[in-house]
Amino acid sequence: MTAWNLQVRNLRKHFGARAVLDIPVLHLEAGHCVLLSGRNGAGKSTLLRILAGLETPDEHTEVNIDGTPRPWLRARRALRRDVIYLHQHAYLFDATVEANAAYGLRVAWTPTRQWRARVREALELVDLDHLAGARAGTLSGGERQRLALARAWVLQPRLLLLDEPTASMDREARDRTAGLLKRLKSDKLCMVITSHEPHTLATLPDDHLQLVEGRLQAAPPPAGPPLWEVEGAAPAPEGSVPRPAPSAGATPRLWESRG
Amino acid sequence: MELVQACKQALVLLFSGNADLWTIIGISFAVSVKAIVIATPIALATAFVLAFFRFPGRGLALSTVNTLLSLPAVVVGLTLYLLLSRSGPLGDLRLLFTQKAMMIGQIVLCFPLLVAWSHAAIEAAERSAWETAITLGAPPWRAVLTLLHEVRFGLIAAVIAGFGRIISEVGSSMMVGGNILNYTRNIPTAIALETSKGSFAQGIALGFVLLFLAFALNLGLSFFQRRGTLGP
């Protein structure tokens, strides 16, 4: 996968008189994983939906993909091509597991032989190949989320936006989802993950930001030890202090705040 | 006993292949199927626009559609009669007492029902269905088809209800069709005529057809709802 980067400038969004987002610069690039936290109504989902081209920001928002700056409206098609947004509760079409995984390839008129092979690979990746012929409505919560990930993975997006991907999951389902996310990250896929419980994703993200009154800022260290460890990651020593949030000076900043 | 006797005669008429009876049934189906086929895509598009877009006058449009649900068939017939009669504004089209006039009446009758039921079905669909289709790369027209597919059972129910409404309506067909034998005489107008003549057997035979049709349509709907296999 080629290096890819996205820069959004002057990202603002109002609902009526209420300012929901006010982000001067947001920068994302291939292989980078950002954890985004914030209180209810802080604007996390709105930010993700704007990045996915599903919601229109206020005027003057500029999107720069791979060095080509464009107004948001003109960049929307490119965003919809490169970015996939996964809802908190994955919507699965009323069809089989295989048909769901193949949806994006089929609407792109991919030849049947090709999409079948790609979908088989994706279902094996998420360990749902044995359920390929089952109706998607019969899957459990964790299986639904894995199918949604497979459905996104077959399209090889540049940026994956995950809205609370582990919400309402038990530990086993969270572990499996986390393992998949780690695998996707190793494929140089850029990810933004929102979570109300940032400590549950402590070992996965490169950066942890939080939205406060519509503005991005470095998040404080997680409140507790991770609820689970990503497969392959070294477990935290007993009694150790949780990983602190990255300092602004250690790596180039992904965002800018006003004032 | 008279009713039992009439029912027996009705069954004989039906299964002996009585030409007049089957011609009436054929005309009924031809007119109503054409009407529903023409009305359905327009009604679906209207329902989608009303469900998915917010624009000035949307509330008024929805109220109008809901009001027209209880539109009496005879009022549609009367209005069309005035429009299509020789002295009416559309008299030059020479449509009065034709199957086309019956079709127009039936389209007017089933349109509000199709819109209202389809609108309810589309509104009940999760917005995330649309967004998921879009974010997976579907162009808007394909996302619309996906969404309609997701609510297909509600839409099939709308079409079945609309068809049931027009196949059994008598007021409009009688007024603008004229009940002409072998041309505009359909099942409901024939039942009305035969009953007024005291010839109950043919009326009951045609009633059986309508009942059987309703039963078959409901069976079909249940079948699709159970199977849910109309394809992605």
Q: Where are the domains of chain B?
A: 2-230
Predicted confidence at residue A170, as pLDDT, reads 80
Q: What separation in angstroms does the CA of B228 have from each of A65, A131, A137?
A: 42, 18, 11
Specify the CATH number for B2-230; select among 3.30.1220.10, 3.40.50.300, 3.10.180.10, 1.10.3720.10.
Answer: 1.10.3720.10
A256 Cα to chain B: minimum distance (Å): 27
In angstroms, the CA A141 to CA A147 distance is: 10
Q: Mean pLDDT over all residues of chain B? A: 90
B139 Cα to chain A: minimum distance (Å): 8
Of A84, A89, A96, the CB nearest to B135: A84
Q: Provide mean pLDDT across the span B179-190.
A: 94
Tokens describing residue B3: 């009713």
Cα end-to-end distance, chain B, whole Å: 54
How many CB atoms lie under 10 A from the CB of residue A15?
10
B137 contact A CB<8A: yes
Of A52, A89, A106, the CB nearest to B135: A52
Identify all chain B residues contacting A91, using CB atoms and an 8 Å cutoff.
126, 128-129, 131-132
pLDDT band for A188, please (50, 70, 90 cuts): confident
pLDDT band for A59, please (50, 70, 90 cuts): confident
Predicted confidence at residue A256, as pLDDT, reads 63
The amino acid at residue A126 is V
Q: Residues B47-64: pLDDT tens digits?
A: 999 998 989 999 999 999
B129 contact A CB<8A: yes
A91/B137 Cβ within 8 A: no
Predicted confidence at residue A235, as pLDDT, reads 45
Predicted confidence at residue A258, as pLDDT, reads 55
Identify all chain A residues contacting B232, using CB atoms and an 8 Å cutoff.
93, 95-96, 99-100, 103, 106
Predicted confidence at residue A141, as pLDDT, reads 87
Predicted confidence at residue A253, as pLDDT, reads 57
Predicted confidence at residue A252, as pLDDT, reads 47
Sheet with A62-65, strands from edge to edge, namely A68-71, A62-65, A5-15, A18-29, A255-256
Q: Provide mean pLDDT across the span A120-147.
A: 93
Is residue A243 over pLDDT 70? no
Sheet with A207-212, strands from edge to edge, namely A83-86, A159-163, A190-194, A33-38, A207-212, A215-218
Q: Output the CA torsion A25→A30→A31→A37 (10° steps).
A: 30
B155 Cα to chain A: minimum distance (Å): 15
Q: Is B109 left (phi over 0), alpha (psi -120 to 50) or beta?
A: alpha
In angstroms, the CA B115 to CA B64 distance is: 11
A93 contact B CB<8A: yes
Tokens describing residue A114: 């090709």
Q: Provide mean pLDDT across the span A39-62.
A: 91
Q: Mean pLDDT over all residues of chain A? A: 83
Of A80, A90, A95, the CB nearest to B137: A80
A81/B137 Cβ within 8 A: yes
ipTM above 0.90, yes or no: no
In angstroms, the CA B141 to CA B110 distance is: 25
Q: Provide mean pLDDT across the span A134-138.
A: 93
| Nearest C-alpha in B relative to A50 | B135
Residue with tokens 């089209």: B93
Show the 3-state SS of A114-134.
HHHHHHHHHHHHCCCHHHCCC
Q: What separation in angstroms does the CA of A224 have from each of A216, A217, A218?
A: 22, 20, 17
Of B129, B137, B149, the CB nearest to A91: B129
Identify all chain B residues contacting A106, using CB atoms and an 8 Å cutoff.
232
pLDDT band for A234, please (50, 70, 90 cuts): very low
Predicted confidence at residue A244, as pLDDT, reads 41
B132/A87 Cβ within 8 A: yes
More confident residue, A19 or B229: A19
A83/B135 Cβ within 8 A: yes
Predicted confidence at residue A245, as pLDDT, reads 42
B232/A91 Cβ within 8 A: no
Residue with tokens 């389809």: B118
Q: Provide mean pLDDT across the span A87-116.
A: 95
Q: What separation in angstroms does the CA of A181 have from each of A79, A82, A107, A130, B11?
A: 21, 18, 25, 21, 68
Of B37, B232, B227, B53, nearest to B138 (Cα)?
A: B232
In angstroms, the CA B209 to CA B187 distance is: 9
In angstroms, the CA A7 to CA A56 distance is: 16
Backbone φ and ψ of B136, nearest 5°: -90, 10
In angstroms, the CA B73 to CA B84 distance is: 16
pLDDT band for B219, please (50, 70, 90 cuts): confident
Predicted confidence at residue A237, as pLDDT, reads 42
Give alpha helix (H) positions in A88-236. 97-107, 112-125, 141-153, 171-186
Strand, helix or coil for residue A53? coil
Predicted confidence at residue A203, as pLDDT, reads 76
B20 contact A CB<8A: no
Of A87, A108, A151, the CB nearest to B128: A87
Q: What share of chain A is helix, strand, coil (3-state, %, to 5)?
A: 30, 25, 45
pLDDT band for B200, please (50, 70, 90 cuts): confident
Of B137, B142, B146, the CB nearest to A155: B137
> For residue A28, what is the DSSP state?
E
| Sign, CA torsion A155/A158/A163/A164 | positive
CA B12 to chain centre: 29
Q: Provide mean pLDDT across the span A19-30.
A: 92
Q: Please spell the DSSP secondary structure of chain B, one letter per residue.
A: -HHHHHHHHHHHHHHTT-HHHHHHHHHHHHHHHHHHHHHHHHHHHHHHHHHH---TTHHHHHHHHHHHTT--HHHHHHHHHHHHSTTSTTGGG--TTSHHHHHHHHHHHHHHHHHHHHHHHHHHS-HHHHHHHHHTT--HHHHHHHHHHHTHHHHHHHHHHHHHHHHT--HHHHHHH---TTTT--HHHHHHHHHHHT-HHHHHHHHHHHHHHHHHHHHHHHHHHHH--S--
The amino acid at residue A29 is E
| Nearest C-alpha in A relative to B136 | A104
Predicted confidence at residue B189, as pLDDT, reads 95
A89 contact B CB<8A: yes
Q: Residues B130-159: pLDDT tens digits?
A: 999 999 999 999 999 999 999 988 898 899
Of A96, A156, A81, A163, nearest to A125 (Cα)?
A: A156
Identify all chain A residues contacting B126, using CB atoms and an 8 Å cutoff.
91
Residue with tokens 């090709």: A114
Angle CA(B221)–CA(A91)–CA(A199) in degrees, nearest 5?
155
Predicted confidence at residue B1, as pLDDT, reads 58
Full-prediction pTM beyond 0.90?
no
Of B131, B137, B228, the CB nearest to A107: B137
| Sign, CA torsion A26/A192/A40/B55 | positive
In angstroms, the CA A103 to CA B136 distance is: 7
